[in-house]
Amino acid sequence: IGSFFQERPVLKNPFLEDALLRGYMRRHLPQEAASSDLHAFGERVANEVDVWGRECEVNPPRLVQFDPWGHRVDHIVTSPAWKRMKDLSAQEGLVAIGYERSFGEWSRVYQMSKLYIFSPSSGLYTCPLAMTDGAAKVIQSRGVSWPVDEAYSRLTTRQPKHFWTSGQWMTERQGGSDVGSGTETVAVPQTDGSYKLHGFKWFTSATDADMTLTLARVQDRTGATTAGSRGLSLFYAEVSRDEDGRLTGIEVQRLKDKLGTRQMPTAELLLDGLPAHRLSEKGRGVASIADMLTITRIHNSISAAAAMRRVVQLARDYATRRTAFGKLLKDHPLHIQTLARMEVETRGAFLLVMDVCRLLGREESGVATRHDAHLLRLLTPVAKLYTGKQAVAVVSEGLESFGGQGYIEDTGLPGLLRDAQVLSIWEGTTNVLSLDVLRCVARSSGMVLQAYFTHAKSLLAGASGVSRLAPAVKSVDLALSQLEVFVQVAATRAPGYLELAA
């Protein structure tokens, strides 16, 4: 059997190991309270939480539809580790930090840095946290009052016993991208001003949530509804059980059998009279849930950058432990070149996503300029679509750097690749987000692009000493001057010209 056993790669404190993250925090948020919290949390992730994440993977959720006597119960049974993730998330303020705003405009950067450290060890608990954050944001933007004041306090608390997570039930069988045409769920008005929802939600993740935001069409007195996006309204519903233990107005049809993200339940739900409250004006459902999409897409980008960082970190460590052709992998220039390319991709992703978080923080603290607002609108889908693709490529390359062991399930490495694959699908596929970018360029009459090029120019100006960047500065200048002409011409030409051009 031989006497050689390869040392495994070791996960060290992901904050201390990440020179770019530490440098970024030193530069932008040098407060001791933030860095010591990130340091301590990194220690916890490496020594305690990472094991729970593995437990979530090997002990995935299951659905118990009936009790032994045939009563419908629809219990989604989750692992103890999954439940611990919920308590930890509250204690560590993984949603709360974004709303406490103790670090002013840098609070989002701080919150997202914690999530970045947590994500690859979280057993996908970052999914419910993303939706929880998105729901809190929608409620906050619309005003915290009845019937969602209690929910808001629960979504943003640090008290584990009080903490709630939220779902985001948008996708139906006819269309997840095109929710405007694809949504069949109807909302039947009740005499007390509330509604009952009837329909079928085809994908609902982290379905053990305490509440949800969802879309439905309000029926008029004749039972008719308005088709398309203009017929959709936004609803708030709590997930509760009656005295017999049955879910109120919901049947869990089945759990999805997925390529990855197996740690968390994703269910098909029949809504059969689910009590709900309308949060938006009638017909403003898509525009009202857009705040949630912004937040969850930023979380998605953070998870993508974090997956890349994790695989690079482990690959670097492994390169100091594995020998081939008489020397450690770290001493093979070609192997180091491969790791260096992964590192460059990871750094680019991190800096892009952190810039989006910075802009979000500025907007929420009321210090954002119009220019910042344009950039946030443009860069949110760009970062999501770009990092989603990068994560799959970098994590795949990362697996190869462990040789055959990268393909072996119980190393935990293949799960990183499976989980990365979803990042470009949910929360808007790559093509759908590309179209979102074009629409926002057109609707802002090109202003978002102007903001982008101006921003790029100022970043490049900071590096003007680097002569290799001179062509880039020149092309940004050219793009900016062409864009200015384009916007001026478009403003004087037929309406819709920009939309067509985009």
List of residues contacting ligand FAD (CB under 6 A) = 168-171, 175-178, 203-205, 258, 261, 266, 422, 425-426, 429, 431-432, 435
Which one of residues 224, 287, 408, 470 is an interface residue with ligand MFK (CB under 6 A)? 287
266 binds, among ligand FAD, ligand MFK, none (CB under 5 to 8 A by kind): ligand FAD
CA 210 to chain CA centroid, nearest Å: 19
Q: Using the rule CB under 6 A, is 173 a contact of ligand MFK?
A: no
Stretch of 102-110, 168-176, 240-248, 272-280 lying at the interface with ligand MFK (CB under 6 A): 168-176
Window 435-494: residues binding ligand MFK (CB under 6 A): 436, 439
Cβ–Cβ < 8 Å for 40, 88:
no
Closest CB to ligand FAD among 365 and 429?
A: 429
Mark residues 294-323: x for contact with ligand MFK by CB under 6 A, - for none. Answer: x-x--xx--x--------------------
Which one of residues 144, 432, 456, 502 is an interface residue with ligand MFK (CB under 6 A)? 432
422 binds, among ligand MFK, ligand FAD, none (CB under 5 to 8 A by kind): ligand FAD
Nearest distance from C-beta of residue 298 to ligand MFK, angstroms: 9
Token look-up 């202003």 returns 447
Phi first, then psi, for residue 113 (nearest 5°) are -65, -40
Residue nearest to ligand MFK (CB): 229
Mark residues 87-126: x for contact with ligand MFK by CB under 6 A, - for none. Answer: ---------------------------------------x
Give the closest residue to 411 by CA, choosing from 300, 328, 315, 346.
Answer: 315
Distance between CA atoms of residues 140 and 155, nearest Å: 11
Position 478: which residue type?
L
Q: Using the rule CB under 6 A, is 427 a contact of ligand MFK?
A: yes
Distance between CA atoms of residues 65 and 250, nearest Å: 12
Residue 32, both tokens = 């001791």
CB atoms within 10 A of CB 307: 26
Q: What is the maximum span of the chain, computed from C-alpha positions, in angstroms?
A: 80
Nearest distance from C-beta of residue 302 to ligand MFK, angstroms: 7
Closest CB to ligand FAD among 204 and 313?
A: 204
Give the closest residue to 232 by CA, choosing from 173, 179, 195, 194.
Answer: 179
Phi first, then psi, for residue 319 (nearest 5°) are -65, -15
Distance between CA atoms of residues 154 and 210, nearest Å: 10
Token look-up 């994703």 returns 266
Nearest distance from C-beta of residue 259 to ligand FAD, angstroms: 8
156 binds, among ligand MFK, ligand FAD, none (CB under 5 to 8 A by kind): none
122 binds, among ligand MFK, ligand FAD, none (CB under 5 to 8 A by kind): none
Position 481: which residue type?
S
Q: Using the rule CB under 6 A, is 426 a contact of ligand MFK?
A: yes
Which one of residues 35, 140, 177, 219 is an interface residue with ligand MFK (CB under 6 A)? 177
117 binds, among ligand MFK, ligand FAD, none (CB under 5 to 8 A by kind): none
Position 58: which residue type?
V
For 123-186, give the DSSP string. Answer: TTTHHHHHHHHHHHHHHHHH-S-TTSHHHHHHHT-S-TTT---EEEE--BTTBSS-HHHH---E
Phi first, then psi, for residue 456 (nearest 5°) are -60, -40
Nearest distance from C-beta of residue 130 to ligand FAD, angstroms: 10
| DSSP 3-state of 72 | strand
Residue 327, Ramachandran bin (φ over 0: left; ψ between -120 and 50: alpha; else beta): beta
401 binds, among ligand MFK, ligand FAD, none (CB under 5 to 8 A by kind): none
CB atoms within 10 A of CB 219: 17
Closest CB to ligand MFK among 405 and 421?
A: 421
293 binds, among ligand FAD, ligand MFK, none (CB under 5 to 8 A by kind): ligand MFK
Mark residues 223-242: x for contact with ligand MFK by CB under 6 A, - for none. Answer: ------x-------------
Distance between CA atoms of residues 112 and 406, nearest Å: 28
Closest CB to ligand MFK among 234 and 460?
A: 234
Distance between CA atoms of residues 502 and 486, nearest Å: 11
Distance between CA atoms of residues 391 and 157, nearest Å: 31
Q: Using the rule CB under 6 A, is 182 a contact of ligand MFK?
A: no
Nearest distance from C-beta of residue 117 to ligand MFK, angstroms: 14
Token look-up 């970098």 returns 394
Count residues contacting ligand MFK (CB under 6 A)?
28
261 binds, among ligand MFK, ligand FAD, none (CB under 5 to 8 A by kind): ligand FAD
Nearest distance from C-beta of residue 49 to ligand FAD, angstroms: 22
Residue 269, both tokens = 């739900």
Closest CB to ligand MFK among 186 and 433?
A: 433
Residue 228, both tokens = 């398309």
Which positions touch ligand MFK (CB under 6 A)?
A: 126-127, 130-131, 168, 170-171, 176-177, 179-180, 205, 229, 286-287, 290, 293-294, 296, 299-300, 303, 426-428, 432, 436, 439
